[in-house]
A = this chain, B = another copy of it.
Amino acid sequence: VSKPGATPRSTLRQVASHAGVHPATVSRALNPETRQLVNADTLRRVLAAVRDLDYRTNEIARSLRTHRSFTVGVVIPDITNPLFPRLVRGLEDGLDAVGYTSLVAYTDDLPEREEERIRRLQQRGVDGFILATARHKDPTLEALAAEGVAVVLINRRTASDAIPSVTVDDRGGTRDAVRHLIELGHRRIAHVGAPSRLSTARARLEGFRAAMREAGLKTDAGAMTPANAVTQAEGQRLGRLALQRDPALTAIVAANDLMALGCYDAIAEAGLRCPGDVSVIGFNDMPFADRFDPPLTTVRFDHYGMGHAAAGMLVRRLRTEEATPSASHLRLETKLVIRSSTGPAPPRRG
């Protein structure tokens, strides 16, 4: 912030001469950890000078000197995905409360973009990373963590459990969804899944299978073609496919809310109604899911809390001096929120 016209900020050196002390003394006076080393009267003089000159530490200079920037890189697929605003807010509130600032980057789930973003954030000197872009097999992230860089994974995790993470009980949440459908009398249930490179997709599929198996129901493998992306369009495509494969289908469990919305479209397209003919359940409870037509039954978890927890985990890691503390994994609870996209299985179709 010192362009041609900008008023130059005052420096520590200026504060020192204004207060009649050495710059080192000003530095000590201003750092809470060393403040008690300085004489009360000197401290007073320094503080007065700081006030007079409206001095504020140049964090760039401090970072260069201390090798700590109090900055963390946050890497997410896309802030436009309705899952992320709350999550990012939780993250930043958590970081902010302890003096960290976040630099956020978007990857659109493109691995090359991700690498490039991580590299750039490293050049900017971030102290660590929070990543929401993990793939099931992810050598890049494993390497990053192995290098000793502080990393915590969020929402998605890698196959190995070497990197700390905050995730959701994807398996349990989806199992609850299927059970609810079964209680409503549904027997022909399809899963509209996310790309299998994502841990969330795998766990949700597992939960689906487990619940079906436990009810003695067959899951048609063909009715579970995985998506190429977690989008509404893919949800529509897969929903359409599922409806074609099994015209007697009465319910769909989608891997997330966006895909559930796509299923709404596929159902309408087929001349059917939700929940009259086909029930739909999503995952995430994205903002305004209660305002959809029909209001969406979905698996809720605390997006904000997830971000907040990840921030806490990273900060703790940043503070411990251990080279490689053992990775902790936090798994958040889910809660099935029953709204109006699910209903009893229609007698003639079920």
Contacts and interface: CB of A to CB of B under 8 A. Distances in A.
Interface of A: 1-7, 9, 56-61, 63-64, 67, 69, 71, 78-80, 82, 84-86, 88-89, 92, 101-106, 119-120, 122-128, 147-150, 261, 264, 287-288, 291-295, 318, 321-324
B101 A124 contact: yes
A287 B82 contact: yes
14 contacts: A3-B128, A3-B149, A3-B323, A4-B321, A5-B323, A6-B147, A60-B124, A64-B64, A80-B85, A89-B106, A101-B103, A101-B124, A291-B293, A292-B293
Nearest to A118: B1
A79 B82 contact: no
B101 A120 contact: yes
A101 B71 CA distance: 13
Contacts of A103: 101-103
A59 B2 contact: no
A38 to B, nearest CB: 22
Contact of A288 (B79, B105, B292, B323): B292
A149 B1 contact: yes
Kindly name the residue among A9, A56, A101, A127 whose own CB sees the greatest number of chain B CB atoms within 10 A. A101
A126 B324 CA distance: 33
Contacts of A322: 4-5
B292 A1 contact: no
Given A7-B147, A292-B292, A293-B293, A89 B85 contact: no
Q: How many copies does the complex hold?
A: 2
B292 A4 contact: no
A85 B79 contact: yes
A1 B120 CA distance: 12
Given A3-B318, A80-B85, 17 more contacts: A1-B128, A2-B67, A3-B148, A3-B150, A4-B148, A4-B322, A4-B323, A6-B147, A6-B148, A56-B122, A60-B63, A92-B104, A92-B106, A101-B103, A288-B288, A291-B292, A292-B293
A69 B2 CA distance: 10
Kindly name the residue among A6, A105, A119 whose own CB sees the greatest number of chain B CB atoms within 10 A. A6
Contacts of A104: 92, 102, 104
Nearest to A150: B3
Kindly name the residue among A9, A71, A78, A148 whose own CB sees the greatest number of chain B CB atoms within 10 A. A148
Contact of A261 (B64, B79, B80, B291): B291
